[in-house]
Amino acid sequence: MEFNDKIPRVLFIRRKRNDNSEVNIYLNYKRLDQTEKMEYLGIHLDNKFNFNAHIDQTEAKLIPLVNM
């Protein structure tokens, strides 16, 4: 199995809402950057695993269409 190391990012989903600690994860001896938001299969997720990021992104796309 080969992994794409061109966009090395990791989304760490936490159970605790106030936990902001970083996790060091390595792939092929390269440290993966930890992000707060990520898009997966067209759905925008954030590290608290709620869909506020997806709603905000969808709203930003729809506002110009509604204003036409």
Query: Does residue 23 form part of some domain?
Result: yes
Contacts of 60 (CB under 8 A, 6+ apart): none
Structure-block tokens of residue 64: 């110009």
Residue 34 inside a domain? The answer is: yes
Q: What is the pLDDT of residue 18?
A: 67
48 and 17 Cβ atoms separated by less than 8 Å: yes
pTM of the model: 0.54
Residue 13's pLDDT is 74
| Number of domains, the chain | 1
Q: Which residues of the chain have pLDDT under 50?
A: none
* Domain annotation covers residue 1: no
2 found inside a domain = no
Please tell me the predicted confidence (pLDDT) of residue 51. 78
35 token code pair: 């992000």
Tokens at residue 58, please?
A: 């969808």
Place of tokens 């269409």: 65
- Does residue 3 lie within any of the structural domains? no
Query: Given this model, what pLDDT does residue 54 score?
Result: 83
Structure confidence at residue 1 (pLDDT):
66
Using an 8 Å Cβ cutoff, are 43 and 54 in contact? yes
In a domain, residue 32? The reply is yes
Domain span including residue 62? 9-67
Provide the pLDDT for residue 26: 84
